[in-house]
Amino acid sequence: FYYNLVNNMKLFALFILCISVPSALAATGVDVSAYTSQDSFSCLNQNGYIFGIVRGYCSYGGVDPNVVSNIQNSINGGMQNTDVYLFPCYPCGDPAGQADDLVNAISGQGYGMVWMDIEVYAWDSDIGNNQNFILTMANELTNQGQSVGIYSSYYNWQSIVGLGWTGVSQYPLWYAHYDDWMSFDDFTPFGGWNTPAIKQYNGDVSFCGAGIDQDYYP
């Protein structure tokens, strides 16, 4: 009886380990589009969020005035990784120049990746023009030595460039689906991506004195 009990306990412990390891290895993070203090990032970190993604370029066509402060506040607040996102301004033109402006503004700040935020906002009605704009910007960021990623969703991608366009699928995908669920089980392939890197699973949350979106990285 004791032998069987011990073995059953071992098997149960192994089962618990197997089902708990994935969740233990998963990481949660936040992205922010407004000034966020070091104290807020520290509070977020103490509550289990370990990476931050801060806005670096605004849709009106200019570098976010808070980007350097937010990068440093995220780092000094304890975030293990801090990335930046670029919200392009299509009507402003010059996608390479927009990329250069951001890179010059944040040079030497200790950030990781630059994510291009591709969502519905003042894009051209011709998806070919949108494709060329995005590709030019991504190429310029790469030429500038940046680690590039793409933020979008199935329906945004469909509207802006078409689901079948795979021109930037070599970059990691951060996708949005607000189902409040830390899982990729909901993901539908698009744009050449079969597996995403990050999921934005909840938006417009107020926590630790900050306005955040919540993100999941397995």
Q: Which pLDDT belongs to residue 90?
A: 98
Cβ atoms within 10 Å of 138's Cβ, excluding its own? 23
For the packed helices 38-46 and 67-76, what is the interaxial angle rounded to 10 degrees? 40
Contact 149, 171 (CB under 8 A): yes
Tell me the three-class secondary structure of the chain, residue by residue: CHHHHHHHHHHHHHHHHHHHHHHHHCEEEEEECCCCCHHHHHHHHHCCEEEEEEEEEECCCEECCCHHHHHHHHHHCCCCEEEEEECCCHHHCCHHHHHHHHHHHHCCCCCCEEEEECCCCCCCCCHHHHHHHHHHHHHHHHHCCCEEEEEECHHHHHHHCCCCCCCCCCCCEEEECCCCCCCCCCCCCECCECCCCEEEEEEEEEECCEEEEEEEEC
Query: Which residues participate in catalysis according to the annotation?
Result: 31, 117, 119
Per-residue confidence of the chain (218 residues) as pLDDT tens digits?
Answer: 323 323 333 333 333 333 333 344 689 999 999 999 999 999 999 999 999 999 999 999 999 999 999 999 999 999 999 999 999 999 999 999 999 999 999 999 999 999 999 999 999 999 999 999 999 999 999 999 999 999 999 999 999 999 999 999 999 999 999 999 999 999 999 999 999 999 999 999 999 999 999 999 99
Quote the pTM value: 0.89
